[in-house]
Amino acid sequence: MTASLRMLKLGPVGTVIAAATWRAPLGVVSPVTLSVHLSGLTGTFKSAIEGIGQAHWGEYWNGVRFPANWADTANDIEVKAFLAKDTLFGVDEFIPRGRGRHRDELHAKAERIFRGQANQAGRGRLDANIKERPVYWPRGLTISSGEDIPAGHSLRARIWIVEVKPGDIDPERLTELQGAGKAGLLAQAMAGFVHHLAGRIDQLRQEFPQRSDELRREAIGEHRRTPQNYAEMVYGCEVWLEFAVVVGAITAAGRDDYLQHIKRDLKSLIQAQDEAQRDENIVNVFLETLRDALASGRAHAEDWETGEAPKGLEQACGWSLSRYRDPSERGETIEWRAHGNRIGWLAGAQVRGGSGLQHHTGRTECSLP
């Protein structure tokens, strides 16, 4: 147990691996609906730290061997994930190559596995005789690693994504943990934990819904799944730390310190993931592009009623003051002039755009802050 707890000394990356490792056996209490994906360049030790979690199920899993590889077929990964019930299910080497069919197939494969994990459901299929084939889905906790991140804004919200950068993982501490895994210490800790759970399953099933609600309220993220992911991870840590107290690996005070450390790391990662989600949301990208086009003078929007510069928001809508001398009049004339093409109209706080044929036809609306 002491060896397993050392994962928390590897920073936020280690905390996520520890939380995923300790949550996986609790699928028998409540099915796991989250996955973890480590992304980073070669040499950042992402596969090695993934292997530390996997070594809790036997010293055979040494950070080089994993239950599955993203080069395997989707059907093969799906069946293995189904059989690996209540365990950490590692899939290594998510490395899309090029822009062709191989890349598309790999992302489609990842979507199938990660959505199956999140929904706890597989794809129904029929055989040649129109009989239903067995349906498979991940019944443990899927953890993946690679040099890229699975595509799709909605899909990424179902995964706990951790970007591993050079220097994030201390190689000396990692080597120490690898030695513990090779010696079977991590597997012994997991065996003791599973034995401990056997007598508490009914109690934990009763406690989980209320405790999960309490933990969700601690983490309110942009996407509705983020608080649930946080709750699942922290809950697994709470049960593991309670077992550590029972066997004398830590004190009750030490458990509280560990738990605060875990929550702090997980919340920092939630914030980073939410920011990444906002940056990649196609709606946000569109609105940022629209604002930039208007502010830079490459386009403009008119007042919905007058067809002129929107009062009070002229510059924000692509207009600027222009001075010129009219030969037929004395002095200078100052007026607002539009820049670039007209891309829509402003009506209150709404930007309305459409075909451009008429003000009141073919329009769509979006709010601007």
104 close to 46: Cβ distance less than 8 angstroms: no
Say what percent of the chain tops pLDDT 70: 85
pLDDT for 181 equals 96
339 close to 299: Cβ distance less than 8 angstroms: yes
Q: What is the pLDDT of residues 280-292, one digit of tens each?
A: 556 656 766 777 7
pLDDT for 324 equals 66
In whole angstroms, give the CA distance from residue 171 to residue 67.
Answer: 24
pLDDT for 284 equals 57
- Strand runs (DSSP E) across the chain, as ranges? 35-39, 68-69, 88-94, 141-146, 159-163, 299-303, 319-325, 332-338, 341-347, 350-353, 364-367
Q: Is the pLDDT of residue 5 over 70?
A: yes
DSSP conformation class of 346: E
- The whole-model pTM stands at 0.75
Residue 270's nearest CA partner among 50, 34, 23, 5 is 34
pLDDT for 358 equals 34
Least confident of 18-22, 56-60, 218-222: 218-222
The position carrying tokens 């820049």 is 339
Q: What is the pLDDT of residues 317-369, one digit of tens each?
A: 888 887 766 666 666 677 888 888 888 887 766 666 654 333 333 344 444 43
Q: Rounded to the nearest 10 degrees, how much is the dihedral formed by the CA atoms of 11, 23, 138, 88?
A: 60
Q: Could you tell me if residue 346 is left (phi over 0), alpha (psi between -120 and 50 degrees) or otherwise beta?
A: beta
In whole angstroms, give the CA distance from residue 116 to residue 86.
Answer: 15
Write the CA distances from 58 to 88, 143, 297, integer angstroms. Answer: 11, 16, 62
Q: At what angle do helices 11-23 and 252-280 cross, to 10 degrees?
A: 100
